[in-house]
Amino acid sequence: MSDCIFCRIRDGELPCKKVYEDEDVLAFHDIHPKAPVHVLVIPKQHVATFSDADEALLGRLMDRVRHVADSVLGLKEGWRLIVNVRAGGGQEVYHLHAHILGGKRLSF
């Protein structure tokens, strides 16, 4: 979608600090980090929100989130996974994305 920020990042029209990419997903640093490590993982396929994604896409996304957090970022002490769903959940960008937060002991 041409008016979607994350589609434009995926297509290289907007810059990002990329940490991982494969045929299914792209992972890059959040522009407003809430922790020492704050990375977003997006499916390359445009899906607006978590509720709209099918089982196969969610499975691939969760598998790659685990790979990025544990192997690419090496967050050995642990990390947090957040998916904000629609306005009530705090979602601002309507292209499905998972937040990986880590790099310190997180508290609520």
**Residue 32 makes contact with ligand DGP by CB under 6 A:** yes
> Tokens 């490590």 correspond to what residue?
37
Nearer to ligand DGP, 76 or 99 (CB): 99
Q: Single out the residue of 3, 23, 54, 92 in contact with ligand DGP (rule: CB under 6 A).
A: 92
Helices (H), 1-108: 5-10, 55-67
Closest approach of ligand DGP to the CB of residue 54, in Å = 20
Closest approach of ligand DGP to the CB of residue 78, in Å = 20
32 part of the active site: no
Residue 63 CA neighbour count, 13 Å, CB half: 9
Among candidate residues 41, 72, 45, 69, the one with its CA nearest the CA of residue 56? 45
**Residue 16 makes contact with ligand DGP by CB under 6 A:** yes
